[in-house]
Amino acid sequence: HNRFGGILADDMGLGKTLQVITFLWSEFLESAPVENRRALVVTPASLVFNWMNEIEHFAPGLPATVVTGDVKERKALIKNAGEREVLITSYDLLKRDLKAYQNLDFAVQIIDEAQYIKNHGTQVAKAVKEIRSEFRLALTGTPVENRLSELWSIFDFLMPGYLHAYKRFRERFEAPIVQDADEQARQNLHLMVGPFILRRMKQDV
């Protein structure tokens, strides 16, 4: 509703995929038939069909399509995507098919294994950020505090500008925290990102 994005950072094995499918299913059920609730799930190639299998198992009524095949076939699938359909693609194919997505608006965009965009200068990171989407969610089972530049890149996808340009972020947060162990800078960053990160540990569940 407020156009904020977020990171679902639960430990591995706590059902991040199922939580997202539940969300996508609720979006489908609660939207009017004429309302655009189109969704895009971007995932590593090894997980594309796993996502499709999970959707078919847990939400069999949710229209979903794996964007696969040769270039012509993928373009046709993208062009003909319904306004309440979930498209599932890989990071590599999204990068290749980016032009085909330029005429589509998505209500929801999900990136799985969000560490794939940890280097904000890569073509993959730039590609996911070029998709027009109202709500963005990142999934990562690894601690998001591994590298602060990784955290910045994910937030640059979720809510561009929220953590400033990278140069400003580095000056205000990354350098003081990493180089000087500045506790106040760490606390300030935590206050900014904490509300947008959902993280459960296995020992807490």
What confidence tens digit (pLDDT) does each residue in 3-13 have? 899 999 988 88
In 3D, which of 120, 124, 118 has the Cα closest to residue 7? Answer: 118
Report residue 50's pLDDT band, with 50, 70 and 90 as the boundaries: very high
Answer for the pair 8, 19: CB distance below 8 angstroms, yes or no.
yes
Output the pTM of the full model.
0.93
Answer for the pair 155, 163: CB distance below 8 angstroms, yes or no.
yes
The C-alpha atoms of residue 23 and residue 17 are separated, in whole angstroms, by 10
User: Residue 169: pLDDT above 70?
Assistant: yes
- Position 33 scores a pLDDT of 77
- Say which range, 34-38, 119-123, 131-135, has the weakest mean pLDDT: 34-38
- Position 146 scores a pLDDT of 65
Provide, rounded to the nearest whole percent, the portion of the chain with pLDDT above 90: 76
At residue 53's C-alpha, the angle toward residues 47 and 70, to 5°, is 60
Give the three-class secondary structure for 125: helix
Phi and psi of 14, rounded to 5°?
-100, 10
- How far CA 18 is from CA of 25, 70, 174, in Å, comes to 10, 29, 33
Answer for the pair 166, 152: CB distance below 8 angstroms, yes or no.
yes
Residue given tokens 């994005």 in the structure block: 5
